[in-house]
Amino acid sequence: MTRTPSFTRDELTVHTDPAELAKVTRALRGVGRKIALVPTMGALHDGHLELIKRSRRVPNTVTVVSIFVNPLQFGPNEDLAKYPRTLEEDLARCREAGVELVLAPSAEAIYGDDPQVTVHPGPLGEELEGAVRPGHFAGVLTVVAKLFNIVRPDYAFFGEKDYQQLVLIKRMVRDLDFETSVVGVPIVRDPEDHLALSSRNRFLSEAERASALTLPKALAAGTEAAIEGAEQGVAAARAVLDANPEVVVDYLELRGKDLGPAPATGEARLLVAARVGGTRLIDNTPVLLGVPEGGGSTELHG
């Protein structure tokens, strides 16, 4: 008889072999447990912990956190080499959060010797982040597809800070018939200065962090002005960004909530990417276009 894995709140099992992790999750599903996946690249912060908390609220669910710095989504001149790798600290945070399973594989374990097939993200993958980082979303969707096939999660939790990534993953799940419910979780911000939490924030000096606060301030200004329309919202956000020469903007765009063209009225998304010193940051916020005063919140998600 096959032994069924069992887990307690305080137990954490770490797997470096995707095949071994797959055996465990399939055995758990075989006895009626649900599987929740929280994919990360490590350097865990409170934003990641919020994803874990959300996953653990689902009844009868075992949470799997993947910790893998995915080389496929980094371009040749990007920060793969210096991306923070803090595995021991990450495992401690997972243990404290009650995570049951961690997958922490090598690149060789995920991709093998000669990977050739990737997932093409479609036209949206070449816009916004994709225009600045060619090939990025093919790398993202490929590793997410592989994780979905390894773990076979019932639910997967992703933060809205990487909003374009979230939209593309939902599209992939729909178009390729993955049996996974993708759950988006609102951005977690620093409670004092409202900077969106990111593993890359640790690279900011004190002065650079002060400049980085221009991003949430611009989004807040754009959200308020968008009550008058999309053009006004973008102009207000742009004015805040332009006032700080230390912030080099890659893009500032207002799109529909599915990242198509913005509607004349209703729900939309304001997105920004910029470089502060040597660190590239992204941020976004939901907005309501053409909504009269009192018709909706103009505060950033927190």
Beta-sheet strand order (sheet of 13-15): 13-15, 101-103, 61-67, 34-40, 155-159, 181-185
Cα separation, 36 vs 34, whole angstroms: 7
Tell me the domains of the chain and their CATH numbers.
Answer: 13-185 (3.40.50.620), 201-289 (3.30.1300.10)
pLDDT, one tens digit for every residue, the chain (302 residues): 334 444 444 589 999 999 999 999 999 999 999 999 999 999 999 999 999 999 999 999 999 999 999 999 999 888 899 999 999 999 999 999 999 999 999 999 999 988 899 999 999 999 999 999 999 999 999 999 999 999 999 999 999 999 999 999 999 999 999 999 999 999 999 999 999 999 999 999 999 999 999 999 999 999 999 999 999 999 999 999 999 999 999 999 999 999 999 999 999 999 999 999 999 999 999 999 986 555 544 445 44
- Known catalytic residue: 194? no
Cα separation, 233 vs 257, whole angstroms: 15
Tell me the CB-side half-sphere exposure of residue 300, using CA atoms within 13 A.
25
Distances in Å between the alpha carbon of 61 and those of 53, 100, 110, 128?
12, 10, 25, 35
The answer to whether 231 is annotated as binding is no
Element (H, E) at 108: helix 107-111
What's the pLDDT score for residue 11? Answer: 82
The shares of helix, strand and coil residues in the chain, as percent rounded to the nearest 5, are 40, 20, 40
Which amino acid makes up residue 32?
G
Per the CB < 8 A criterion, the answer to whether 289 and 233 are in contact is: yes
Among residues 48, 120, 194, 301, the one annotated as catalytic is 48
Which residue is it, tokens 């040597």? 278
Quote the pTM value: 0.92
The answer to whether 46 is annotated as binding is yes
Residue 289, phi then psi, degrees to nearest 5: -90, 135
The answer to whether 181 is annotated as binding is no
Neighbours of 237 (CB within 10 A): 30
Element (H, E) at 225: helix 214-225
The answer to whether 198 is annotated as binding is yes
